[in-house]
């Protein structure tokens, strides 16, 4: 007597998954230049085709009119834009139930692999949602993943989806049979898992080159050259030197405006800017430097910037040193 062959793990893996996964990077919009014609309500043209010409002159002819004046000129990146060190990489993870049955125990997990480590990401879950949920046909689940980019090189985002499906024979039942099967235990549910990888590079947005010199009298001066290697302009919010214990730092840059007005320099792509700091010994604090060392540690340089549409970036250097001046 022939009997049904038990479902092996290899057969399960060959079956198409009943859930699909989409990963969309979250980024701020940019301005899209366009040259619109005057609005038909303020134009005295009697041409019946003027409305069509007006719509075609817009960057997005099909965009509905809103009260926000910038809506028609805002655009999202058409493709995956560059990821820069110092910025926060954010993406939306969406899983949809494409089957005609209810999928239970749906859970999304993500991890980021950098050149030096593998880190599990904590996903942002809405307050009214649970970590593990059930999806009816056509329903979806969304999670947001964030990761601070600190290393240059290849990054791999791994997204794993785990879910449970009805037994294989339940999927072959008719609607009437399914209603009847709800009152009958026809077997355990199957747990299935699939994983997708997304690879992208991270590169430097601002490069820093420093030069430090110890001056007579125990003073020191630190110079830094900042270059914008990104694709768009950046606004320098802050450049601060955190001095090592025993030093006092004085900025010699744009933030020393006597009137108190704060200005933020704008660096276009490939622009270079020089900053400098004067360091003096703190008479109230003893230095921690080794007097026998040929170099003296001055502190760390921290930079904060924003892109043209407000994306925030942060960068901190290692300990900066100067060659000790022998007397």
Same domain, 223 and 305: yes
In this structure, the answer to whether residues 19 and 142 fall within a common structural domain is: yes
Question: Quick one: pLDDT at residue 227?
Answer: 95
Q: What is the structure's pLDDT at 44?
A: 61
Span 284-306, mean pLDDT?
81
Of 27, 31, 128, 38, residue with least CA distance to 82: 27
pLDDT single digits (tens) 55-80: 777 666 655 665 566 666 677 776 67
Q: Give the up-direction half-sphere exposure of residue 275: CA atoms within 13 A in the CB hemisphere.
A: 22
Question: 236 and 169 in one domain?
Answer: no
Whether residues 90 and 157 share a domain: the answer is: yes
| CATH number of the domain encompassing residue 197 | 2.60.40.3880
Tell me, yes or no, whether 198 and 82 share the same domain: yes
Q: What is the pLDDT of residue 61?
A: 60
Q: Do 85 and 109 have their domain in common?
A: yes
Q: What is the mean pLDDT of residues 68-95?
A: 80
What integer pLDDT is reported at residue 22 of this predicted model?
A: 92
- Domain, as residue range, for 71: 30-75
Could you tell me if 216 and 180 lie in one domain? no
How confident is the prediction for the chain on average, in pLDDT? Answer: 80
Q: Is residue 1 part of a domain?
A: no
Same domain, 234 and 111: no
C-alpha distances (whole Å) from 32 to each of 71, 98, 309 are 10, 36, 12
Rounded to whole angstroms, how far apart are CA atoms 293 and 182? 78
> What is the per-residue pLDDT across 18-57, written as a single tens digit (0 to 9) for each?
899 999 888 877 777 666 777 777 766 567 777 777 777 7
Residue 274 pLDDT > 90:
yes
DSSP-derived 3-state class of residue 180: helix
pLDDT of the residue at 185: 44
What is the CATH classification number for the domain harbouring 212? Answer: 2.60.40.10
For the chain, how many structural domains are there in total?
Answer: 3
The answer to whether residue 4 sits within a structural domain is no
**pLDDT, position 232:** 86
Q: Are residues 163 and 23 in the same domain?
A: yes
Asked which of 173, 203, 233 is the last residue of a domain, the reply is 203
Per-residue confidence band for 177, with pLDDT thresholds at 50, 70 and 90: very low
Mean pLDDT for the stretch of residues 115-129:
86
Cα-based distances in Å from 196 to 19, 22, 93, 157, 242? 13, 10, 11, 8, 42
Does residue 3 fall inside a structural domain?
no
* Per-residue pLDDT tens digits for 209-248: 999 888 888 889 999 999 999 888 999 988 999 998 888 8
Mean pLDDT of 179-185: 43
């Amino acid at each position: 007597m022939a009997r049904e062959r038990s479902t092996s793990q290899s057969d399960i893996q060959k079956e198409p998954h009943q859930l699909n996964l989409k990963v969309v990077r979250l980024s701020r919009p940019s301005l899209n230049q366009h040259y619109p014609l005057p609005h038909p309500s303020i134009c005295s043209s009697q041409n019946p085709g003027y409305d069509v010409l007006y719509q075609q002159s817009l960057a997005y002819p099909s965009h509905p009119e809103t009260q926000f004046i910038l809506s028609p000129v805002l655009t999202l990146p058409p493709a995956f834009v560059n990821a820069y060190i110092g910025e926060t990489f954010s993406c939306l993870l969406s899983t949809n139930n494409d089957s005609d049955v209810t999928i239970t125990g749906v859970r999304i997990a993500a991890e980021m692999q950098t050149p030096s480590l593998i880190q599990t990401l904590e996903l942002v879950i809405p307050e009214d949602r649970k970590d593990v949920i059930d999806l009816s046909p056509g329903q979806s689940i969304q999670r947001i993943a964030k990761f601070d980019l600190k290393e240059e090189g290849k990054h791999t985002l791994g997204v794993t989806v785990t879910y449970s499906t009805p037994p294989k024979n339940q999927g072959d039942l008719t609607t009437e049979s399914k209603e009847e099967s709800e009152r009958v235990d026809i077997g355990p549910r199957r747990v299935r898992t699939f994983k997708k990888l997304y690879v992208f590079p991270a590169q430097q947005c601002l490069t820093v080159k420093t030069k430090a010199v110890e001056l007579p009298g125990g003073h020191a001066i630190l110079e830094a050259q900042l270059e914008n290697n990104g694709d768009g302009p950046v606004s320098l919010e802050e450049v601060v030197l955190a001095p090592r214990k025993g030093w006092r730092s004085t900025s010699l840059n744009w933030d020393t405006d006597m009137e108190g007005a704060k200005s933020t320099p704008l660096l276009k792509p490939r622009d270079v800017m020089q900053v400098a700091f004067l360091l003096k010994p703190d008479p109230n604090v003893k230095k921690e430097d080794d007097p026998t060392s040929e170099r003296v540690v001055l502190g760390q340089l921290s930079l904060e910037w924003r892109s043209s549409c407000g994306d925030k970036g942060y960068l901190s250097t290692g300990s900066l040193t100067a060659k000790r001046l022998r007397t």
